Structure 1
Amino acid sequence: MTETDRPTVEDVMSTPLETISKDATVMEAAQRMEEKEISALVVPTSPRSIISSTDVLSAVAAGRDTSELQVSDVMTTDVETATPNLYMEEVAAMMTNYGIKHLPVVDDDYVGMVSSTDVAAHLS
């Protein structure tokens, strides 16, 4: 495989990027993920943050009221990010090393999201 044949993040990332406010409820985040058939949303904050289906599941398992709980209470903060020009092998290594399933894609600002499902589909 030549360098030009190797898929990059830009080739496989999900766009448009789906976001949610840190002030939204966890229930709203879960509903948005269900509606869009995705498993994570970017929370446009500093440091960079996301809320994933795992964050929602943890809140539910703990017996928390997701209709009152805010995204900011359960979101993952200071997340790792990828750039659009990274090769998928590099992204796979990052996800394995950090034990994560989602990487927001950043090029000055958020431009997309790449998931472990995207990686698996393009490296198999």
Structure 2
Amino acid sequence: MRISDVLRTKGSEVVTIAGSASVAELVALLREKGIGAVVVVDDPTTGAISGIVSERDVVRRLATDAESLLSTPVSAVMTTTVHTCEGDEELHDVAVRMTERRIRHLPVVDGDRLTSIVSIGDVVKSRLQELQAERDHLEGYISS
């Protein structure tokens, strides 16, 4: 199974934010959308990724900068080294990479252009569906 297969059932909506937005705007967006990370895109016409910012980034910064954090720009708390994947990559390979690097959200790109995002939850859900299909197939084979 490929990442593009996961995205076919999940959809490709990606929530983005500008690096100049405040952490308060970020937190409101995370809450409104019910998500754990947002891709930072400063130029929506190109879709080039500037960074990624997650709940973890906010919490880590909160421990040292609670008073001024909400007015801080997203660019000050985001992760700038963004690991990505492409739609034609194998799900297993992406799952291994996410696990090894302790990444919960991975932007999906086509060249330099952001196309979607995949979470560890999406990966686990797809893998569980694969295992269930294999189980059903084996049960059918044994029963016949």
Q: Normalized against structure 2, the TM-score is what?
A: 0.75
For structure 2, list consecutive stretches of 5 or more residues without a partner in the other structure.
43-47, 129-144
The CA distance in 2 between the partners of 1:57 and 1:12, in whole Å, is 29
Aligned-residue CA RMSD in angstroms?
A: 1.7
Quick one: which of 22, 31, 34 aligns to 1:34? 31
Which of structures 1 and 2 has the larger relative contact order (alpha carbons within 8 angstroms, sep 6+)? Answer: 1
The CA distance in 2 between the partners of 1:83 and 1:26, in whole Å, is 29
Matching of residue 52 in structure 1 with residue 54 in structure 2: yes
The CA distance in 2 between the partners of 1:20 and 1:78, in whole Å, is 16
The CA distance in 2 between the partners of 1:10 and 1:61, in whole Å, is 38
What's the offset of the Cα at 1:100? Answer: 1.0
Amino acid in the other structure paired with 2:20:
D
Q: Name whichever structure is richer in helix by fraction.
A: 2
Quick one: which of 72, 79, 82 aligns to 1:79? 82
The CA distance in 1 between the partners of 2:4 and 2:63, in whole Å, is 35
The CA distance in 1 between the partners of 2:49 and 2:92, in whole Å, is 26
Identity, in percent, stands at 35
Matching of residue 111 in structure 1 with residue 115 in structure 2: yes
The CA distance in 1 between the partners of 2:25 and 2:18, in whole Å, is 10
For the pair shown, the structure with the greater C-alpha radius of gyration is 2
Contact 2:49–2:114 (CA<8 Å) still a contact in 1?
no
Secondary structure in structure 2 of the residue aligned to 1:17? coil
Amino acid in the other structure paired with 1:10:
S
The CA distance in 2 between the partners of 1:26 and 1:38, in whole Å, is 15
What's the offset of the Cα at 1:63? Answer: 3.5
For structure 1, list consecutive stretches of 5 or more residues without a partner in the other structure.
1-5
Amino acid in the other structure paired with 1:55:
D
**In the TM superposition, what whole-angstrom CA distance separates every residue of 1:44-93 from its partner, at most 9, and x where no partner exists?**
15664101111111122224323211101000012110001112111101
